Amino acid sequence: MANTIDARLKELGITIPEAPAPAANYVPFTTSGNLVFVAGQVPFVDGKLTKTGRVGEDASVEDGHEQARICAINLIAQVKVACGGDLDRVRRVVKLGGFVASAPDFTGQPAVVNGASDLMVDVFGDAGKHARFAVGANVLPLGCVVEIDGIFEID
């Protein structure tokens, strides 16, 4: 039964990266009781953005969806640390907050944030189903396309 989630990640071909170290006087996550609050994750791959700009301008919905998926992987990387390395301790993905850098006439933020939502359910099954918001922003840190924060419940 152990390492169910690790097995699923392997099946899905998803490698959870090392969680990046804190860059400032904030930390990648805090815990309070059974809740883990994970800081807003940008879609870094090996410390770099693979895409910048606004959906509807420089990035397509598909680009945004992929960037949101990367944010979700980075959220999981942080939760893994919060769980002492054991993702089977995740009881529930409680909430995702999705910010999508958007052209002024782009109104498909939910389709973009689905890139993260779908991944959470792929990885955690029913426990991956979460409340969320998906909103537009005129600009995001470093010009990234999507930023997503999260709240998780763990054992």
Binding residue for a second copy (CB under 8 A) from 63, 83, 102, 145? 102
Residues 107-136 within binding reach of a second copy (CB under 8 A) = 107-110, 114, 117-118, 120-121, 128-136
Structure-token pair, residue 152? 């998780």
User: Contact letters (x/-) for a second copy, 42-81, by CB under 8 A?
Assistant: ----------------------------------------
Contacts of 129 by beta carbon, 8 Å cutoff, 6+ apart: 93, 120, 121
> Which CB atom, from 87 or from 96, has the smaller least distance to a second copy?
96
Between 87 and 134, CB nearer to a second copy? 134
**What is the Rg, in whole angstroms, of the alpha carbon atoms belonging to the chain?**
15
Return left, alpha or beta for 70; rule: phi > 0 is left, psi -120 to 50 is alpha, else beta.
alpha
How far apart are CB 58 and a second copy at their closest, in Å? 12
Which residues lie below 8 Å from residue 151, measured CB to CB, with a gap of 6+? 35, 36, 37, 38, 94, 95
- Given candidates 30, 45, 62, 85, which one binds a second copy under the rule CB under 8 A? 30
Q: Which amino acid is at 100?
A: V
Which of 3, 62 has the CB closer to a second copy? 62
Binding-site size for a second copy (CB under 8 A) equals 59
Helices (H), 51-108: 61-82
Local structure of 30: helix, strand or coil? strand
Neighbours of 85 (CB within 10 A): 10
105 counts as binding a second copy under rule CB under 8 A = yes
Question: What residue ranges bind a second copy (CB under 8 A)?
Answer: 22-30, 32-35, 37-40, 92-97, 99, 101-110, 114, 117-118, 120-121, 128-143, 147, 149, 151, 153
